[in-house]
């Protein structure tokens, strides 16, 4: 059993960063999370069988056990008070990581790992995740040179993301591995084949990191590497090992030389900071100046996160509910950014994310967990700085599956590497039955969830190809396997509406809203459903308006919702209400060219040409290529003299 468990842990570290597939509804995080879930239930099964046989304690007892229990309790309590308990348990649908279920998995993995972590297995695990990291970074480097440029909408050559799905996530992962690769290089015999291999690995990881162009990742790498070098030299100086000190000094000098050469040879934030370049005048300024700096975006989101915590100070709005609750305190200034209509499902700061979604209790328990881990890992410089890199990248980002896996399991590598001795007697063999039964239940349930996601993805693809009947067949499979998933209900409602099935569309939409009433997205999809149904029966048009009115209450600073509501009122020939909502959208987003144009059209239809002219002229300020606005101005120019 022990060898099987160790193999499963090795599989976790090796395969998790590599896994991605288009078969699931999301390419990267969803398959990674399901792989962790499946592996966890097998590890728990075999470990419990070992425990029944008296070969190991149930869980390891160490300094992190109580802080981990307190942290998990905070997530449990916050879930109980959550605005959407389903999301808090299973995680936000397109991410999954961060829900109560994921924390339970990571906690179990940590409590079990030290019982099997021999020195040999520890070294093997480090080698395994470094090999996996090498594969990931190599693919990232190839990505920079266009190996898969035609597969993605994003400019992947400019900022690589390899098998992780996002440049900042890849950078955070590489930062975790760099200290281990450095440690292997500095401890290997100089000029040996092993030393050259590890030097190549270090260079490979760092080069890929530069290709991500992740500021937070590069800053984290610099800080953690400096801390690692300082701690390493201090330890060597204490040991008075002058020869080793000198040899490692040469090794450090070589590493620094390589890092400097790479940093100055290719385009990356370090080179841009040291040698800023002027923007070429030939570049269309509209393509450069309208992009809001990420630092400014984060400040706005962080402000909304703090305001959300002030409204829910004790237990927050519930784990993984930021995508819903952020709209309640979203600063109006967010509308003036280049990502004004993006859905933010995280605070882009792990600490503020915990503060907003789990309140003071969750945030303080998280800090207590971190402080405990730092005290445990400080005796092991490489584990310590690797963990510190996670803390730094989390400040400007958030945890994903692979970083969460390392966050919870890295501390085990700083604990005793020998298995805990046990003289426990074998347990009653009758315990095999409930353990195996529980495993089968968990495995079947998890398999049904995973299969449901595959069916949901097929439904999405079929709907995009306008194969509505096929899409309905697939979503029915997903609903059969997982009937309590609001996302599936909303999808089923939309498909039914497109197939002119009003009763089914209405019932599915009602179920979706009842399952997740705080989701602004579901209310917008509900409005879309009723918009389709209004083509069959005009009464549904008012239902669509009601859904959008609900959206404005859930997201009072979302300019797009007011614009859509204005459009619906305009279509319903309620021009006063249309103008009112357009004006509110414009109040929230003064550069909203679509709203300016819509107001211009209304005033033109009312023959209020002076007002119409004002709005069309302002439209052209923000959208100079809008030919329709220019045509209206030409008409107004010819009409104004007649209106005097």
Tokens standing for residue 91: 């995680």
Quick one: DSSP state of residue 318? Answer: -
Lowest mean pLDDT among 262-266, 287-291, 503-507: 287-291
Are residues 52 and 432 in contact, defined by beta-carbon separation less than 8 angstroms? yes
How far is the CA of 402 from the CAs of 171, 345, 397, 405, in angstroms? 12, 18, 14, 5
- Tokens 């050559």, residue located: 157
Give pLDDT, residue 236.
72
Task: Give the C-alpha separation, 105 to 90, whole Å.
Answer: 12
Q: What is the pLDDT of residue 81?
A: 97
Q: Tell me the average pLDDT across 28-33.
A: 98
pLDDT at 480 over 90: yes
Mean pLDDT of 250-266: 91
Q: State mean pLDDT over 176-184.
A: 96
Q: Which residues contact 625 (CB under 8 A, 6 or more apart)?
A: none
pLDDT over threshold 80, residue 238 = no
- pLDDT value at 156 more than 90: yes
Determine the average pLDDT of the residues in 148-154. 88
Task: For residues 442-465, give the mean pLDDT.
Answer: 97
pLDDT of 124: 96
> Using CA atoms, how far apart are residues 644 and 641, in angstroms rounded to an integer?
6
Q: Which of 377, 366, 426, 389 is nearest to 62 (CA)?
A: 377
Close Cβ partners of 599 (under 8 Å, ≥ 6 residues apart): 579, 582, 583, 586, 611, 615
Q: Give me the mean pLDDT over the 236-249 stretch.
A: 61
pTM of the entire structure? 0.94
Indicate the range of 136-145, 224-233, 564-573 predicted with least confidence.
Answer: 224-233
- Given a cut of 50, is residue 478 above it in pLDDT? yes
> What is the pLDDT at residue 584?
97
CA distances from 593 to 285, 552, 560, 600, 619 (A): 18, 20, 11, 10, 5
Torsion angle of C-alpha atoms 44, 48, 54, 58, degrees rounded to 10:
70
Domains of the chain and CATH, by start: 2-274+293-414 (no CATH), 452-643 (1.25.40.10)
Please say if the pLDDT value at position 223 is more than 90.
yes
Q: What percent of the chain has pLDDT over 90?
A: 81
Does residue 288 register a pLDDT over 80?
no
User: Minimal CA–CA distance to 256: which of 208, 222, 227, 213?
Assistant: 222
- Which of 28-32, 179-183, 229-233 comes out lowest in average pLDDT? 229-233
pLDDT band of residue 499 (cuts 50, 70, 90) is very high
User: What is the pLDDT averaged over residues 604-608?
Assistant: 94
Dist CA 78 CA 85 (whole Å) = 9
What percent of the chain lies above the pLDDT cut of 70? 94
pLDDT score of 320 more than 60: yes
Mean pLDDT along residues 59-83:
94
Asked if the model's pLDDT at residue 239 lies above 80, the reply is no
| Cβ atoms of 610 and 594 closer than 8 Å | no
pLDDT at 426: 72
Angstrom CA distances, 410 to 205, 286, 390, 407, 551, stand at 19, 45, 11, 6, 43
Q: How many helices (H) and strands (E) does the chain have?
A: 28, 0
Over the chain, what is the mean pLDDT? 92
pLDDT value of residue 430: 80
pLDDT band at 284 (very low <50, low <70, confident <90, very high): very low
Q: Which two tokens stand for residue 198?
A: 């590890």
Q: How confident is the model over 439-450, as pLDDT tens digits? A: 999 999 999 999
What is the residue-wise DSSP string for 528-583? Answer: HHHHHHTTT-THHHHHHHHHHHHHHHH-TT-HHHHHHHHHHHHHTT-HHHHHHHHH
**Helix 65-80 to helix 350-377 angle, to the nearest 10 degrees?**
160
Answer yes or no: is pLDDT of 640 > 80. Answer: no
Residue 53 has a pLDDT of 85
Q: How confident is the model at residue 246 (pLDDT cuts 50, 70, 90)?
A: low
Which letter does DSSP use for residue 413 in this model? G
Instruction: Please determine, for residue 235, whether its predicted confidence score (pLDDT) is greater than 80.
Output: no
């Amino acid at each position: 059993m022990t060898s099987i468990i160790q193999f499963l842990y090795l599989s976790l570290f090796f395969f998790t960063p590599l896994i991605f597939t288009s078969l699931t509804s999301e390419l990267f995080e969803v398959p990674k999370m399901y792989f962790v879930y499946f592996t966890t239930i097998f590890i728990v099964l075999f470990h419990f069988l070992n425990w029944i046989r008296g070969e190991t304690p149930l869980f390891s007892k160490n300094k992190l056990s109580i802080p981990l229990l307190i942290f998990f309790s905070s997530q449990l309590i916050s879930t109980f008070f959550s605005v959407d308990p389903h999301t808090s348990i299973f995680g936000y649908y397109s991410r999954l990581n961060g829900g109560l279920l994921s924390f339970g998995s990571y906690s179990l993995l940590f409590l079990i790992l030290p019982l099997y972590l021999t020195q040999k297995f520890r070294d093997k695990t480090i080698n395994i995740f470094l090999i996996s990291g090498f594969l990931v970074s190599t693919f990232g480097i190839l990505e920079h040179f266009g190996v898969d440029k035609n597969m993605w909408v994003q400019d992947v050559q400019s900022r690589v993301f390899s098998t992780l799905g996002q440049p900042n996530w890849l950078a955070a992962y590489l930062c975790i591995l760099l200290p281990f690769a450095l440690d292997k290089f500095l401890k290997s015999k100089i000029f040996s084949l092993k030393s050259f291999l590890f030097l190549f690995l270090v260079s490979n990881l760092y080069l890929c990191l530069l290709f991500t162009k992740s500021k937070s990742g590069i800053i984290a790498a610099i800080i953690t590497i400096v801390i690692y070098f300082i701690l390493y030299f201090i330890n060597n100086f204490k040991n008075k090992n002058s020869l080793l000190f000198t040899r490692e000094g040469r090794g450090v000098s070589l590493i620094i030389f390589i890092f400097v050469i790479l940093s100055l040879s290719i385009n990356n934030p370090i080179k841009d900071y040291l040698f800023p370049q002027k923007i070429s005048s030939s570049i269309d300024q509209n393509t450069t100046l309208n992009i809001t700096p990420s630092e400014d975006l984060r400040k706005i989101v962080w402000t909304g996160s703090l305001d959300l915590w002030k409204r829910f100070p004790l237990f927050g709005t519930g784990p993984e509910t930021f995508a819903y609750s952020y709209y309640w305190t979203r600063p109006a200034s967010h509308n003036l950014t280049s990502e004004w209509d993006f859905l933010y499902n995280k605070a882009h700061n792990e600490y503020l994310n915990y503060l907003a979604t789990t309140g003071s209790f969750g945030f303080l328990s998280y800090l207590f967990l971190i402080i405990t881990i730092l005290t445990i890992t400080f005796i092991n410089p490489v584990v310590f700085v690797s963990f510190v890199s996670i803390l730094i990248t989390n400040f400007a980002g958030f945890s994903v599956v692979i970083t969460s896996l390392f966050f919870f399991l890295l501390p085990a590598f700083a604990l005793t590497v020998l298995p805990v001795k046990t003289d426990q007697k074998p347990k009653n063999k009758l315990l095999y039955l409930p353990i195996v039964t529980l495993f089968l239940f968990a495995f079947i349930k998890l398999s049904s969830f995973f299969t449901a996601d595959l069916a949901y993805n097929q439904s999405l693809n079929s709907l995009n190809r306008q194969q509505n009947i096929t899409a309905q067949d697939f979503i029915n499979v997903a609903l059969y396997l997982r009937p309590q998933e609001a996302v599936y209900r909303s999808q089923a409602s939309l498909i039914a509406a497109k197939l002119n099935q009003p009763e089914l569309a209405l019932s599915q939409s009602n179920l979706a809203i009842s399952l997740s009433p705080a989701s602004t997205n579901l209310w917008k999809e509900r409005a879309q459903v009723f918009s389709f149904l209004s083509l069959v029966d005009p009464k549904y048009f008012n239902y669509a308006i009601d859904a959008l009115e609900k959206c404005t209450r859930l997201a009072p600073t979302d300019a797009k919702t007011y614009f859509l509501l204005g459009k619906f009122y305009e279509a319903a020939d309620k021009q006063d209400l249309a103008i009112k909502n357009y004006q509110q959208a414009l109040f929230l987003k003064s550069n909203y060219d679509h709203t300016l144009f819509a107001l211009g059209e209304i005033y033109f239809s009312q023959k209020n040409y002076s007002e119409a002219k004002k709005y069309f002229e302002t439209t052209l300020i923000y959208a100079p290529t809008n030919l329709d606005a220019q045509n209206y101005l030409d008409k107004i120019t010819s009409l104004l003299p007649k209106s005097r």
